[in-house]
Amino acid sequence: MKPLYDAGEVIVGPGDDAGVYRMDGMVSGMAIVETVDFMTPVVNEPLLFGAISAINSLSDVYAMGGRPVAAMAVAAFPACDYDIGVLKMILKGALQSLKRTGTFLIGGHSINAVELQFGLAVTGVVEEGSILRVSGVQQGDLLVLTKPIGIGILTTALKNRAIADDDINEAVKWMLVINDAASKLAVQVRASACTDITGFGLLGHAYNMVKDSEVDFVIHYDSIPLLQKTTELAGRGISPGGAYKNLGFVSNKTDFSPHIDKERQLILSDPQTSGGLLIALAPEKIRIFEQSDVFYSVIGKVIKGSGLIIVE
User: DSSP string covering 145-189, please?
Assistant: E-S-B-HHHHHHHHHTTSS-GGGGHHHHHHHT--THHHHHHHHHT
Q: Return the beta strands (E) in the chain as ranges.
A: 10-12, 19-22, 30-39, 67-77, 104-112, 117-127, 142-145, 193-196, 215-219, 254-256, 277-281, 297-304, 309-311
Q: Are residues 167 and 39 in the same domain?
A: no
Is residue 107 domain-shared with residue 204, that is, in the same domain? no
Using DSSP, state whether 144 is helix, strand or coil: strand
DSSP state of 284: G
Count of structural domains, the chain: 2
Residue 2 falls inside a structural domain: no
Q: Tell me, yes or no, whether 85 and 195 share the same domain.
A: no
Looking at the structure, tell me whether residues 17 and 150 fall in a common domain: no
In this structure, the answer to whether residues 38 and 174 fall within a common structural domain is no
Among the candidates 84, 107, 130, a domain finishes at 130
Q: 39 and 150 share a domain?
A: no
Residues 181 and 244 in one domain: yes
Concatenating the DSSP letter of every residue in 236-249 gives TT---HHHHHHHHH
* 1 located within any domain: no
Q: Please count the other Cβ atoms lying within 10 Å of the Cβ belonging to residue 241.
A: 10
Number of residues assigned to the chain:
312
Cα angle 52, 275, 125; round to 5 = 80
Shared domain check, 303 and 202: yes
- Domain identity same for 18 and 119: yes
Q: Provide φ and ψ at 178, rounded to 5°.
A: -85, 140
Q: Considering 74, 98, 130, which residue would you say is the last residue of a domain?
A: 130
Inter-residue contact 124 to 137 (CB < 8 Å)? no
Tell me the mean pLDDT per 10 residues along the chain, length 312.
61 87 74 95 95 98 97 94 94 98 96 95 95 96 98 95 93 97 97 96 97 96 97 96 97 96 97 97 97 97 97 98
Structural domain containing residue 168: 142-311
Domain boundary among 84, 103, 130: 130
Q: Do 69 and 162 fall within a single domain?
A: no
Dist CA 59 CA 239 (whole Å): 24
Residues 85, 166, single domain; the answer is: no
44 SS3 class: coil
The pTM of this model reads: 0.94
In a domain, 66, yes or no: yes
Question: Are residue 16 and residue 126 in the same domain, yes or no?
Answer: yes
Compute CA 62 distance to the chain's CA centroid, rounded to the nearest angstrom: 10
Question: Does some domain include residue 277?
Answer: yes
Given a contact cutoff of 8 angstroms between Cβ atoms, the answer to whether 277 and 197 are in contact is yes
Q: What is the CATH number of the domain that holds 123?
A: 3.30.1330.10
Question: Does residue 5 lie in a domain region?
Answer: no
- pLDDT reported for residue 3: 54
Q: Give the pLDDT of residue 1.
A: 41
- Residue of 140, 146, 182, 130 lying closest to 282 (CA atoms): 140
- Counting Cα atoms < 13 Å in the Cβ hemisphere of 26 gives 9
Residue 97 lies in a domain: yes
Closest CA to 151 of 55, 87, 76, 283: 55
4 within domain boundaries:
no
